[in-house]
A and B are shown apart, each in its own frame.
Chain A
Amino acid sequence: MTAIDGSPGASPATPPALTRPLALRARTAPSRVLFGPHETNLARRREISDRHVAYYARRAAGGAGVIVTETASVTADDWPYERAPLAADCGQGWATLAAAVRPHGTIVLAGLGHAGGQGSSAYSQAALWAPSPVADAASRELPAELERDGIDAIVAGFAAGAALAVAAGLAGVEIDAGPLALLRQFHSGLTNHRGDEYGADRLLLTREVLTAVRAAIGDEAILSLRLCCDELAPWAGVTPEQAAEQVDALAGLGLLDLLVVTRGGPYSTTAYRPTSHTAPTFNRDLCAAMRTAAAGRLSVALQGSVVDVAAADAALADGVADLVEMTRAQIADPELVAKARAGDAARVRPCLLCNQACRVRDNRNPIVSCVGEPRSGHETEDLPVEGTDARARDALVVGGGPAGLEAARVLATRGHRVTLTTNDTVLGGALRGAAVGPGRERLALLVDWLAAECERLGVRFRFEKTVTAADLDAAEAAGTAVILATGSVTAGRAYPAPPDAAPVDSWPALSLLEAGTADVLPGGPVVVHDPVGGPVAIGIAEWLAAAGRDVALVTPDQVAGTLLSLTGDLAPANTRLAQAGVRRELRALIREVGDGRAVLEDVWTGARREIGCAAVVDCGHRLPREDLYLERPGTPRAGDCVAPRTALEAVLEGRRRALEVGAAAGRPRRVPVAAAAGTATGEGAGR
């Protein structure tokens, strides 16, 4: 492979390097952007579903060069999560997908894998199989040691799955040897303690698999390997140095066309696709080293929080990689490549690296989606935003947070004349405040993007404007559509003080964040009260600790930040808190605050203890700001002013209300409160 010839000095008119084609064996990828395999929970039973097809086809239409489908298990004993595809059941779905993507030229590879000891026995109701009986660090389940017949079945399963994928019309396959893969467990001294030839030669199984797969798919099809090149456990795990030797050996086989460089192992599965607390494009050096080891014998893809077109282009220009995996970036904006190709890279909806909706390896089987683009994963049910409504109307959006901005953006996109008012001096609402603290800054990118899109679409902004019910009456009389997105107010949680005690400052979290400095708090220990278990309190605790404050985080839970488990940030967040010296007061209710002390009570035993407390930061739930709504009940509203939740619900509801404006032409704009039961109004609409 030759290095990309784009250079940082190229003229602005030069299309980004990532939009250039890439030859892969007999095929040409239309761009150098990969949409990598990831859990979606879109499967029907263990099949690739119509929802999958729509999800991938949308990325293909948006310019993705290579798509690797959700990893399918190659043998039926491997069932790592309930909706994990099973290769043997995927033939029909792969064929439908191949047909759907064909017009776009995107190369589609079937992801094939086996989770080994990192799987789950819950669905198979049978033992896990792994190189050695080493319990997985996350599940603590002890696997059985694979015997020869089991190994042979797995090799045959890879070959059969690959043959099926190619027969279905896919361009080839990608074999998983990444952070959650059996093949990696064989590569690693952490998990491979075998005394046989598969222990002496840890790459043996992977070589057998690649050889069998190449034989099964023939010379024309593409063969990719997703390889963990750093298990982040140097005492026994795969190190970058070992990985370079592996890459050299595997490239030397002459079987592979593509290598995707990843990191993460049994103790660090979340390092694979981490939140924004890890800087983007973190695998640059690792990938460059592997590309050197590969020495042009195959194409190399950079993986790892690659979310920015410029950073991706720089990696290509610098010879770090031949293509870039931008998975979450294309969940956030399926048209990323198309926009870059059109010279509109700045218009790409940013990935926040928040992992709130796209990381769905969770018992509840949530559908993959995106905080900023909630239609992702819901392509078959949600209408697209694009398009023009039959009748252009005047529209008034009250509120400049994510709900109001998304409503305004969608209204303007669909041809309406939009005015957005805010009582604030800036846009962004609560999300702007939430974007404070180490690793939280990217949250602001969404409001910046929404504001820029609104601006581009001609939305008129009115700052520091208080809208009254009379204004809404006037708007309605003038035929203007109204959407309320007035956000939330503090719940005003009271912390009882002992009799005659000197009071202690109590700050709602958002107010403190908006103040922007810890200096507004009195000196002494700060108690961060987190009844939610969410990211806000963790962020504030880190922010205060970084400002040199003595911080205690009080939570009723056994672990701080329990809601972070979905994002993969639970263990990393607790590690950061420990390293920052934040004391975690677990299983605790705050019973009294006064005289510089807080009285905590154990949630189960009722035992009380005291900690120092010069100020309390209340990170608890907020209440809807609904005074305006209550004056005009039935007015369409979205986001926190319905019920204070996350940015996802704000964007989703802002969009829905905006789409309803066009859909509601000819229907009453406001349904009387006394309307009969069953009438859909406001946020109830669309059921």
Chain B
Amino acid sequence: MSATGRYQYLFSPLRIGPLTVRNRVVFSAHLTNYAADGLPTEQHAAYYAARAAGGAGLIITEEHSTHPTDWPYEKLIHGFNPAVIPGYRRITDAVHAHGTPILAQINHNGGQASSMFSRQPVWAPSPVPDPLFREVPKALEPHEIREVVAGYGQVAEHCAAGGFDGIELQCSHSSIVRGFLSPATNKRTDGYGGSLANRARLLLEIVDAVRAAIGPALVLGVRICGDELIEGGTTIDDAVAIARMVEASGKVDYINTSIGVATATLYMIEASMQVPPGYAMFIPSAIRAAVSLPVVGVGRFKDPLQADRALAAGQADLIGVVRGQIADPDFVAKARAGHATDIRTCLSCNQECVGRMGLNRWLGCIENPRTGREAITLPTPRRRGQRVFVVGGGPGGLQAAVTAAERGHHVTLFERSDRLGGQVQLAASVPSRAEFLDIVRNLIAHAARLGVDVKLGAEADADLLLAEKPDAVILATGAAPNPPWWAGGAVSSGPDAGRRVVDVRDVLEGRAVPSGKVVVVDELGFHQATSVAELLADRGCQVEVITNGMVVGQDLGVTLDMEQWNVKAAARGVTQATDLVPMGTAPADDGGVVLNLQHHPTGTDQTRTVDWVVCAVHQRAEDSLYKALRAKAGDAAGELPFSLTRVGDCLAPRRAHAAVVEGQRAAVSL
């Protein structure tokens, strides 16, 4: 069966107003933080061009601000500044070179902002502070509403001059238009407040102004929120009615959809792997039933077949695949060529894409080290065809092997256990984290396609490496549990398992099977503690998670997993306590453990008498091979016969992203 035959609808062209797209996959708007000084950059052009080259049907850029009062985050593109036009042209030329249409999303974030960067009052329909920014906005006066509308028209002109094929109005999750549409934020008593028709007045005035600015030859789309998921906010009935009004204007060519409010319910907009795929498709379904305009649906579309099924089910006319194409720019091309299994599937881990946006950092990807670096050309290999030995088959070693093989080297990968994946296998063994395994599944498949010689159950020691004399050795030997001082030697990792203070890895690798009352000590602030707590609670344990910090699993907020963790924890009776520093352990009478704690703000002591203590603490680098090689070099009073690099946890135990970028960097430097 031909690839396009495998998909009923995905590769059927679609007319969107004056434009025809070649397939149904949209690279929908999302922040990148690639802007500098309010202007689009070379990196923007390279980033979008990579997705155009990879076959995306339609690209919609990140938002361009329509007015100087709108500057909620540092690296926002100031669309109101005519100086953006050359940067626009650079983007559109780069994308059009691949025959791909590209629209500009234009927006004013309204009250979902602060004055930190603009040094101006924040503008909104009413003085209702945003739940994230918490700054009381200034209620727009009538002449300011006209100024807002005019700003949209002006920026639309800039976009047209910059070569865009059209405009999308973001009226959905962070927008002054959303603010007017939503009863939760619009308390006005004039012609812009009250009835839905009044609340939609600004939207329709903007539609008029933008259409007047761009003329009939360009596309105009409107993105609507189907459910704000906040008290008193817009819900699906209003959204459908708004879509009808938009269509009735006769000036709009398509409708895009979203769910949630960026500053209140972001975890449902950019849902992590804890939320089922396709969770927001009730919105395009309802709107599509009410209007005849093409409708875009979004929400954790990870593979082309899933997108095709949504099209086949009539849920939408187009599918937004954002993170899927951040992870693999060739998502569409691989599907079209019948190689869908080659797609580097998004994990929905949110660690380096979504997670970086709120931190004002550039958008990347945990498993694609080229994301966000498309504008930087990699150096050519110093010498092709080198013999490269990679020791360790976790994400760092696998990435090093893949990149080295891609660059023309002959790669042998040694893994001493009987399977690849390293600690990712453990992280993904918790049911709600299963999709995290995709990172190594993708790498393993890629390594196989590239002909990497993988040796499982093979211990590469210093003697072997020195005897084999490859050109390069990349060590990715990982990390080992490191009993904390306060455990008093009671940690059971490995042969003396059976005692009651254990590491998360002891539990996930099956060396320890805690039961009864369990305290999980979170010193890492990420998934380790919360995952094992969830796992043990599901096995019937009574679990408390404690941390020396102010919040258990602090960084789950970054990846938008905090809400679900807390809901799951509450449902499982998992309790949490903060500001507690472990001070020691002692045996309890019944074979359990007494954990001594200090509440550091007050200096008061507490104890927990439990059956088990599980430590989510920093590991130690497994660097014995590195040290052995350095010692050999020292003995030989000279250099090693190969270049030697450490990547990932064997350098310093951190998260998977560090292993991947270092593995790639080590291979590129050969």
Q: Which residues of A contact B (CB under 8 A)?
A: 82, 121-123, 125-128, 133, 135, 140-144, 363-366, 374, 378, 532-534, 556, 558-559, 563, 570-571, 574-575, 578-579, 587, 602, 604-605, 607, 621-624, 633, 642-645, 649, 652-653, 673-679, 681, 683-684, 687
Besides A363-B358, A642-B138, 9 other A-B contacts (C-beta < 8 A): A127-B651, A135-B618, A142-B652, A534-B134, A643-B121, A643-B136, A649-B121, A652-B119, A673-B142
Point out the residue from A82, A621, A679 that lies within 8 Å of B143, measured CB to CB.
Answer: A679
Contact between chains at B566 and A681 (CB < 8 Å): no
Shortest Cβ distance from residue A629 to the other chain B in the assembled complex, whole angstroms: 10
Query: 9 A–B contact pairs at CB < 8 A?
Result: A378-B119, A579-B601, A602-B570, A605-B570, A642-B138, A644-B136, A645-B121, A676-B146, A684-B144
Contact between chains at B601 and A643 (CB < 8 Å): no
Which parts of B605-630 form the interface with A (CB within 8 Å)? 618, 620-621
Known: A127-B658, A623-B127, A649-B115. A683 touches B136 (CB 8 A): no
Contact between chains at B73 and A364 (CB < 8 Å): yes
Residues of chain B with a CB closer than 8 A to A673's CB:
141-143
Contact between chains at B150 and A677 (CB < 8 Å): yes
Q: Does B22 contact A (CB under 8 A)?
A: no
Residues of chain A with a CB closer than 8 A to B562's CB:
558
Residues of chain A with a CB closer than 8 A to B149's CB:
677
Residues of chain B with a CB closer than 8 A to A687's CB:
68-69, 120
Contact between chains at A533 and B602 (CB < 8 Å): no
Cα–Cα distance between A674 and B652 once the two chains are bound (Å): 64
Known: A127-B662, A559-B550, A678-B150. A623 touches B136 (CB 8 A): yes
Contact between chains at B654 and A127 (CB < 8 Å): yes
Residue in B120, B143, B601 with the greatest tally of chain A CB atoms within 10 Å: B143
Shortest Cβ distance from residue B75 to the other chain A in the assembled complex, whole angstroms: 9
Task: For chain B, give the interface size range.
Answer: 35 or more
Residues of chain A with a CB closer than 8 A to B120's CB:
683-684, 687
Shortest Cβ distance from residue A570 to the other chain B in the assembled complex, whole angstroms: 8
Find the B residue at minimum CB distance from A652: B119
Find the B residue at minimum CB distance from A44: B37
Residues of chain B with a CB closer than 8 A to A622's CB:
136
Shortest Cβ distance from residue A640 to the other chain B in the assembled complex, whole angstroms: 8
Cα–Cα distance between A374 and B141 once the two chains are bound (Å): 26
Contact between chains at A574 and B601 (CB < 8 Å): yes
Which parts of B126-146 form the interface with A (CB within 8 Å)? 127, 129, 131, 134-138, 141-144, 146
Contact between chains at B143 and A571 (CB < 8 Å): no
Contact between chains at B143 and A675 (CB < 8 Å): yes
Contact between chains at B654 and A141 (CB < 8 Å): yes
Contact between chains at B116 and A604 (CB < 8 Å): no
Contact between chains at B652 and A365 (CB < 8 Å): no
Cα–Cα distance between A604 and B73 once the two chains are bound (Å): 26
Cα–Cα distance between A684 and B129 once the two chains are bound (Å): 19
Shortest Cβ distance from residue B129 to the other chain A in the assembled complex, whole angstroms: 5
Cα–Cα distance between A674 and B146 once the two chains are bound (Å): 10
Contact between chains at B523 and A140 (CB < 8 Å): yes
Q: Does B582 contact A (CB under 8 A)?
A: no
Q: Does B525 contact A (CB under 8 A)?
A: yes
Residues of chain B with a CB closer than 8 A to A133's CB:
618, 620-621, 652
Q: Does B641 contact A (CB under 8 A)?
A: no
Point out the residue from B567, B653, B662 that lies within 8 Å of A126, measured CB to CB.
Answer: B662
Residue in A82, A141, A574, A604 with the greatest tally of chain B CB atoms within 10 Å: A604
Contact between chains at A575 and B601 (CB < 8 Å): yes
Cα–Cα distance between A122 and B558 once the two chains are bound (Å): 14
Contact between chains at A645 and B115 (CB < 8 Å): yes
Residues of chain A with a CB closer than 8 A to B525's CB:
140
Q: Which residues of B contact A (CB under 8 A)?
A: 68-69, 73-74, 115-117, 119-122, 127, 129, 131, 134-138, 141-144, 146-147, 149-150, 356, 358-361, 523-525, 549-551, 557, 562-563, 566-567, 570-571, 579, 599, 601-602, 618, 620-621, 651-654, 658, 661-662, 665
Contact between chains at B661 and A681 (CB < 8 Å): no
Residues of chain B with a CB closer than 8 A to A366's CB:
116-117
Shortest Cβ distance from residue B424 to the other chain A in the assembled complex, whole angstroms: 18
Residue in A82, A624, A645, A649 with the greatest tally of chain B CB atoms within 10 Å: A645
Shortest Cβ distance from residue B630 to the other chain A in the assembled complex, whole angstroms: 9
Cα–Cα distance between A445 and B480 once the two chains are bound (Å): 56
Contact between chains at B144 and A645 (CB < 8 Å): no
Point out the residue from A142, A570, A579, A676 that lies within 8 Å of B602, measured CB to CB.
Answer: A579
Contact between chains at A571 and B550 (CB < 8 Å): yes
Contact between chains at B74 and A364 (CB < 8 Å): yes
Residues of chain B with a CB closer than 8 A to A653's CB:
121
Shortest Cβ distance from residue A135 to the other chain B in the assembled complex, whole angstroms: 5
Cα–Cα distance between A673 and B601 once the two chains are bound (Å): 55
Cα–Cα distance between A604 and B358 once the two chains are bound (Å): 21
Find the B residue at minimum CB distance from A587: B566
Find the A residue at minimum CB distance from B142: A673
Contact between chains at B652 and A143 (CB < 8 Å): yes
Contact between chains at A677 and B147 (CB < 8 Å): yes
Residue in B359, B579, B601 with the greatest tally of chain A CB atoms within 10 Å: B601
Residues of chain A with a CB closer than 8 A to B551's CB:
558-559
Residues of chain B with a CB closer than 8 A to A633's CB:
141
Shortest Cβ distance from residue A683 to the other chain B in the assembled complex, whole angstroms: 6
Shortest Cβ distance from residue A624 to the other chain B in the assembled complex, whole angstroms: 6
Cα–Cα distance between A643 and B149 once the two chains are bound (Å): 22
Known: A578-B601, A649-B121. A365 touches B142 (CB 8 A): no
Residues of chain B with a CB closer than 8 A to A675's CB:
143
Residues of chain A with a CB closer than 8 A to B68's CB:
687
Point out the residue from A365, A563, A649, A652 that lies within 8 Å of B74, measured CB to CB.
Answer: A365
Residues of chain A with a CB closer than 8 A to B144's CB:
684
Residues of chain B with a CB closer than 8 A to A364's CB:
73-74, 116, 360
Cα–Cα distance between A365 and B651 once the two chains are bound (Å): 30
Contact between chains at A82 and B658 (CB < 8 Å): no
Known: A571-B550, A642-B121. A142 touches B138 (CB 8 A): no
Known: A559-B550, A602-B570. A681 touches B143 (CB 8 A): yes
Known: A133-B620, A633-B141, A684-B144. A122 touches B359 (CB 8 A): yes
Residues of chain B with a CB closer than 8 A to A143's CB:
652
Point out the residue from B129, B360, B570 that lies within 8 Å of A82, measured CB to CB.
Answer: B360
Cα–Cα distance between A683 and B138 once the two chains are bound (Å): 10
Shortest Cβ distance from residue B311 to the other chain A in the assembled complex, whole angstroms: 34
Contact between chains at A677 and B618 (CB < 8 Å): no
Contact between chains at A674 and B654 (CB < 8 Å): no
Residues of chain A with a CB closer than 8 A to B138's CB:
624, 642-643, 683
Residue in B121, B122, B361, B665 with the greatest tally of chain A CB atoms within 10 Å: B121
Shortest Cβ distance from residue A529 to the other chain B in the assembled complex, whole angstroms: 14
Find the A residue at minimum CB distance from B134: A532
Residue in A144, A534, A571, A607 with the greatest tally of chain B CB atoms within 10 Å: A144
Cα–Cα distance between A122 and B356 once the two chains are bound (Å): 9
Find the B residue at minimum CB distance from A577: B601
Find the B residue at minimum CB distance from A141: B654
Shortest Cβ distance from residue A666 to the other chain B in the assembled complex, whole angstroms: 22
Contact between chains at B136 and A621 (CB < 8 Å): yes
Contact between chains at B662 and A677 (CB < 8 Å): no
Contact between chains at A144 and B567 (CB < 8 Å): no
Known: A140-B525, A643-B137, A645-B115. A122 touches B361 (CB 8 A): yes
Residues of chain B with a CB closer than 8 A to A645's CB:
115, 121, 135-136
Residues of chain A with a CB closer than 8 A to B147's CB:
677-679, 684
Find the A residue at minimum CB distance from B565: A604
What are the nearest 8 A-B pairs in CB distance?
A677-B146, A578-B601, A144-B652, A575-B601, A605-B570, A643-B138, A643-B136, A677-B150
Contact between chains at A677 and B127 (CB < 8 Å): no
Cα–Cα distance between A62 and B69 once the two chains are bound (Å): 33
Cα–Cα distance between A643 and B139 once the two chains are bound (Å): 8
Point out the residue from B359, B549, B557 that lies within 8 Å of A363, measured CB to CB.
Answer: B359
Shortest Cβ distance from residue A561 to the other chain B in the assembled complex, whole angstroms: 10
Cα–Cα distance between A284 and B551 once the two chains are bound (Å): 35
Contact between chains at B566 and A605 (CB < 8 Å): yes
Cα–Cα distance between A405 and B602 once the two chains are bound (Å): 42
Residues of chain B with a CB closer than 8 A to A144's CB:
621, 651-652
